[in-house]
Amino acid sequence: MEIGSRRNMVSSENSPPLNSVTPLRRRTANRIYALIYASALLALFYRHVRQLLLLRFTTPVPVAAATLSLFVADSVLAFMWCTTQSFRVYPIRRTEYVENIPKVLKEEDFPALDVFVCTADPYKEPPIGVVNTALSVLAYDYPADKLSVYLSDDGRSELTLFAFMEAAKFAAHWLPFCRENKVVDRSPEDYFRSNRSIGSETERIKSVTFGLQVMYEGMKVRIENVVAKGEAGKEFIEKERQALSPCTDAVTGQSHPPVIQVLVDNSQDRDIAGNGMPNLIYVSRGKSRTAPNNFKAGALNALVRVSAVMTNAPVVLTLDCDMRSNDPVTPRRVLCYLADPNLDQSKLAYVQFPQIFQGLDRDDIYASSFRSGFQMNPMGMKNGPDYFGTGCFFRRRALFGCPMAIVQLEIPELSADHVVERPIQSRENMELAHHVASGDYENMTNWGSKVGFRYGSLVEDYFTSYQLHCKGWKSIYCHPNRPAFLGDAPTSLIDMLNQLKRWVVGLHEVTFSRYSVVTYGFRFLGLLMGLSYAHYALWPMWAIPIVVYSVVPQLALINALPVFPMLSGPWSLLYIFLFLGAYSQDLVEFLLSGNGATVRQWWNDQRICLVRGLTCLLIGSLEFGLKCLSISIGGFSVTSKATNDEQRKMYEQGVFDFGASSLMFVPLSVAALVNFIAFARGLALSLAGALAVESLALQVLLASFGVVNGWPLYEAMFFRSDKGRLPTNITLASAFVAALLCAAAFLA
Ligand SMILES: O=c1ccn([C@@H]2O[C@H](COP(=O)(O)OP(=O)(O)O[C@H]3O[C@H](CO)[C@@H](O)[C@H](O)[C@H]3O)[C@@H](O)[C@H]2O)c(=O)[nH]1
Ligand SMILES: [Mn+2]
């Protein structure tokens, strides 16, 4: 069915609205402020140019180095400021009127929905968590015969398959329970953990709930035991084990045929109340030694094909295994866009929900919520948000070419308008599904280049939406008050930094390809969208100003060399305005983004921005450089969603966890130490003479800002003895480098 086609609609003229757009009031203020800030930037560059013109061959090296590096740093900052404006000129807020859906679209005309859930490693992604994700969407408030959930298991693990066989049995009890009791938390873990208003329940419901909870806990224990043992053991049906067995002779996972198991079949299976259930299908795509597996993008494309053969729903939801549904009406909410006769349906590729995380500590010490990327900026992207990899409803057709021209596929069964007539488990269907999921199916095809999720970058989400937007597709950012999904974010610093390092490598892969935003993007996206995408593509460049501003003025201070204007002169006001102006606008936007944002969280957010610049942005870029020289080949290292109690405790107390011996911590600790030494030296110089106070004051202030931000590091280096302290070898190495730098600056 073509969603949005008039045939299925009540006439559009007198139908009630399904959604509305309100421009945010702050946009006028944003524009005026942008003009003021831009003038200040012009003044800054006037001063820079004047100083550059003063440089001679005879200029002392420290002066020349400081002048040049600060010029470069400010140029990057100014460019980044320009890119940020693309989110600020026209921010909007959307509202959906789900209650009007029945007046516009009859339930039997709802489009079918295929949900893709990805998992890759049963140890980093505990199967009980994946099961909760799947159950939360199986229980969507949507016609069961129009809903299918596909699980992609790149780990090809009998532990995960076992967990899903258990989940299929549990679903038969869970789905009718949710429906009858209008449960909103449809992931059982969240439901049983939450403080439900038990008092208001009748005796009967109480005992049903209790029985279900016992059943859930039983399943959880069985799954966790199996994971602890590392094999499904006797509990596992021999047939399934045989299906997986070809992988045991290639445990390296390099080469094996696909496994597809239909665990719940809508045409046959019934829940305990006798109603139909959505399809639940386990897929572990095949892998081949001769073809790259393309990580998550490859997994998603395999699901696009398998689902095309089996159900071919026109709408596809992609979910990471740690992203549970938090609101059962979400698919209907999406229909407020995909079925809106007043929108240009032929160009609308996807509806993206924000990534919102559960289980963060109150102050969000690692800034895991990524408010700017997931909640603030998307409201302002002219043609709609980029794709975040999860919580996104695609129109299947958007994966097959431009809005106007379809890319022909190898077999007709894969095309978006193919109607599936065979029962999903028919022999022909299963054979074809296995064929399209095999490891070398994609050889010599357009998959990953013109069709499906795009290959070539570790941030396949960013890259895919970038290409769709370049091809003329549009997207919609939908952020209802009750979060549609809740996910897990890394709760250890090193996990978080490693995750971002992967993103950095992925973004560089795009920037240094023929699809670079600079040479390709701007041409097809236009100025505003081009700037928005450049903002992300060039995000690793933040490392330059952050590194420069964390050491150069400080080393100059140690040398008693002024690099900023005198405190009493007019130019110092410019510097103070540029600094405080940027920070306060960021603070205001952060607080306006809602969802309980606090000043403390903002403070942590700005601190983590600096930390990122000195760690993952820097090291990630270095790693990318090595990769280009083919010195190292890193893959997609999956972020761990399992935490140990100690880590969890540290995180909940808001204490930084530096307890990993990682090279990434070296530049960070060096910067912290340099700031401390510079601050001490600055104080000493100020006590010695009034002139120093005047000319070095801004540098002393900057160093004091560094010291305040570096506090957790000093603690981790010198005062802590728990597991989260900085490993001694890292402390020693950093102290050595910092001492060398400071001595060199002092003597220069
Ligand atoms: O070979 C692989 C590797 C990963 N995954 C899955 O991809 C998802 C995302 O992996 P994760 O380690 O959680 O990455 P994050 O950095 O947390 O994820 C963000 O960044 C990714 C791109 O780097 C996007 O794919 C994600 O949607 C986005 O949430 C998980 O469900 C994995 O199971 C696979 O299916 N196959
Ligand atoms: Mn994740």
Mean pLDDT by 10 residues, the chain (748 residues): 45 79 95 97 98 93 95 98 96 97 95 98 96 98 97 95 96 96 94 74 83 96 94 70 55 76 96 97 94 95 98 98 97 97 96 95 93 93 97 98 94 93 94 96 96 97 98 97 94 93 96 95 97 97 98 96 93 97 96 90 97 97 91 82 86 92 96 98 87 87 97 96 94 98 94
Give the residue, by CA position, lying nearest to ligand 1 atom 18. 389
In a domain, 5, yes or no: no
CA distance 618 to 612: 8
Which residues have CB under 8 Å from 505's CB, separation 6+?
Answer: 458, 620, 623, 624, 627, 634
Q: Calculate ∠ Cα 636-638-642, nearest 5°.
A: 170
Are 73 and 122 in the same domain?
no
| Other residues' Cβ atoms within 10 Å of the Cβ of residue 221 | 11
Task: For a ligand 1 pocket test, name from 296, 504, 510 the mutation site with the most ligand atoms within 8 angstroms of its C-beta.
Answer: 296
Are 229 and 278 in the same domain?
yes
Give the DSSP letter of residue 201: S
Helix (H) or strand (E) holding 259: strand 259-264
Give the residue, by CA position, lying nearest to ligand 1 atom 9. 320
Give the DSSP letter of residue 658: -
Q: Distance, CA 293 to ligand 1 centroid (Å)?
A: 14
Ligand nearest to the CA of 487: 2
Q: What is the pLDDT of residue 206?
A: 84
Q: Distance, CA 638 to ligand 1 centroid (Å)?
A: 6
Ligand nearest to the CA of 503: 1
Are 485 and 552 in the same domain?
no
Here the tokens at position 706 are 């560094």
Q: What is the pLDDT of residue 251?
A: 41
Ligand nearest to the CA of 457: 1
3-state secondary structure of 94: strand
- The distance of Cα 479 from the centroid of its chain, to the nearest Å, equals 15
Are the beta carbons of 673 and 555 closer than 8 angstroms? no
Q: Distance, CA 320 to ligand 2 centroid (Å)?
A: 6
CA distance 92 to 381: 9
Q: What is the pLDDT of residue 205?
A: 82
Are 83 and 126 in the same domain?
no
Which one of the listed residues 327, 461, 488, 657 is annotated catalytic?
461
Q: What is the pLDDT of residue 666?
A: 97
Q: Distance, CA 183 to ligand 2 centroid (Å)?
A: 26
Atom of ligand 1 minimally distant from the CA of 462 = 22
Residue 296 counted as an annotated binding residue: yes
> In the sheet where 323-325 sits, what is the strand order?
323-325, 485-488, 357-358
Q: Do the interacting molecules here have an ipTM over 0.95?
A: yes
**Phi, psi (5° rounding) for residue 369?**
-75, -15
CA distance 412 to 418: 7
In a domain, 210, yes or no: yes
Q: What is the pLDDT of residue 178?
A: 96
**Phi, psi (5° rounding) for residue 401?**
115, -170
Using a 6 Å CB cutoff, which residues line ligand 1? 118-120, 125, 152, 154, 295-296, 299, 320-321, 389-390, 458-461, 499, 502-503, 506, 636, 638-639
Are 241 and 318 in the same domain?
yes
CA distance 635 to 128: 25
Give the DSSP letter of residue 420: P
Which residue stretches of 155-202 are H helix?
158-181, 188-193
Ligand nearest to the CA of 124: 1
Atom of ligand 1 minimally distant from the CA of 502 = 23
**Number of domains composing the chain:** 2
Are the beta carbons of 154 and 284 closer than 8 angstroms? yes
Place of tokens 């964390």: 550
Atom of ligand 1 minimally distant from the CA of 318 = 27
| Other residues' Cβ atoms within 10 Å of the Cβ of residue 317 | 27
Are 135 and 60 in the same domain?
no
162, 167, 161: which is closest to 188 by C-alpha?
167
Atom of ligand 1 minimally distant from the CA of 499 = 16
Give the residue, by CA position, lying nearest to ligand 1 atom 32. 119
Which one of the listed residues 74, 153, 154, 361 is annotated catalytic?
154
Task: For a ligand 1 pocket test, name from 117, 150, 636, 643 the mutation site with the most ligand atoms within 8 angstroms of its C-beta.
Answer: 636
Are the beta carbons of 699 and 682 closer than 8 angstroms? yes
DSSP H helix total and E strand total for the chain: 23, 13
Here the tokens at position 154 are 């790149």
Atom of ligand 1 minimally distant from the CA of 489 = 17
In a domain, 95, yes or no: no
Task: For a ligand 1 pocket test, name from 117, 300, 320 the mutation site with the most ligand atoms within 8 angstroms of its C-beta.
Answer: 320
Q: What is the pLDDT of residue 8?
A: 44
3-state secondary structure of 564: coil
Give the DSSP letter of residue 542: G
- Enclosing domain of residue 41: 26-90+538-633+652-747
Q: Distance, CA 459 to ligand 1 centroid (Å)?
A: 9
CA distance 673 to 360: 29
Are 484 and 558 in the same domain?
no
Here the tokens at position 727 are 């490993």
In a domain, 494, yes or no: no
Which residue stretches of 280-383 are H helix?
295-310, 330-338, 371
Q: Identify the bridge partners of residue 147 per DSSP, sorted by sequence position.
A: 113
Are 79 and 113 in the same domain?
no
Give the residue, by CA position, lying nearest to ligand 1 atom 33. 119
Are the beta carbons of 314 and 324 closer than 8 angstroms? no
Ligand nearest to the CA of 318: 1
Are the beta carbons of 619 and 501 closer than 8 angstroms? yes
Give the DSSP letter of residue 520: I
Residue 320 counted as an annotated binding residue: yes
Give the residue, by CA position, lying nearest to ligand 1 atom 8. 320
Are 449 and 596 in the same domain?
no
Residue 627 counted as an annotated binding residue: no
CA distance 130 to 151: 9
Give the residue, by CA position, lying nearest to ligand 1 atom 17. 639
Here the tokens at position 232 are 């499904």
Which residue stretches of 512-569 are H helix?
522-537, 543-558
3-state secondary structure of 560: coil
Place of tokens 């060096």: 670
DSSP letter string, 69-125: HHHHHHHHHHHHHHHHHHHHSS-EEEEE-GGGHHHHS-GGGSPPEEEEEEE--TTTS
CA distance 436 to 698: 63
Q: What is the pLDDT of residue 306?
A: 98
Instruction: Pick left, alpha or beta for residue 156 (phi over 0 → left; psi -120 to 50 → alpha; otherwise beta).
Output: left
The beta-carbon contacts of 197-204 under 8 Å, at least 24 apart in sequence, are none
Are the beta carbons of 613 and 543 closer than 8 angstroms? yes
Helix (H) or strand (E) holding 506: helix 493-511
Instruction: Pick left, alpha or beta for residue 391 (phi over 0 → left; psi -120 to 50 → alpha; otherwise beta).
Output: left
Q: What is the pLDDT of residue 7?
A: 43
Q: What is the pLDDT of residue 611?
A: 98
322 is catalytic: no
In a domain, 523, yes or no: no
Q: What is the pLDDT of residue 748?
A: 85
Residue 238 counted as an annotated binding residue: no
145 is catalytic: no
| Other residues' Cβ atoms within 10 Å of the Cβ of residue 471 | 17
Are the beta carbons of 497 and 623 closer than 8 angstroms? no
Give the residue, by CA position, lying nearest to ligand 1 atom 25. 389
Q: What is the pLDDT of residue 6?
A: 41
388: domain CATH number is 3.90.550.10
Are 215 and 146 in the same domain?
yes
Residue 154 counted as an annotated binding residue: yes
Are 566 and 446 in the same domain?
no
CA distance 435 to 607: 50
pTM of the model: 0.95
**Distance separating the N- and C-terminal Cα atoms of the chain:** 74
Atom of ligand 1 minimally distant from the CA of 322 = 31
CA distance 393 to 410: 25
Are the beta carbons of 95 and 17 closer than 8 angstroms? no
Q: Calculate ∠ Cα 173-176-182, nearest 5°.
A: 130
Are the beta carbons of 130 and 101 closer than 8 angstroms? no
Q: Distance, CA 639 to ligand 1 centroid (Å)?
A: 7
Are 585 and 690 in the same domain?
yes
Q: Distance, CA 586 to ligand 2 centroid (Å)?
A: 26
In a domain, 20, yes or no: no
**Phi, psi (5° rounding) for residue 743?**
-65, -45
Q: Distance, CA 639 to ligand 2 centroid (Å)?
A: 6
338, 373, 290: which is closest to 105 by C-alpha?
338
| Other residues' Cβ atoms within 10 Å of the Cβ of residue 95 | 15
Are the beta carbons of 564 and 699 closer than 8 angstroms? yes
Q: Distance, CA 499 to ligand 2 centroid (Å)?
A: 8
In a domain, 527, yes or no: no
Atom of ligand 1 minimally distant from the CA of 638 = 12
CA distance 553 to 671: 12
Give the residue, by CA position, lying nearest to ligand 1 atom 13. 639
Which residues have CB under 8 Å from 488's CB, separation 6+?
Answer: 129, 322, 357, 358, 359, 641
Give the residue, by CA position, lying nearest to ligand 1 atom 24. 389
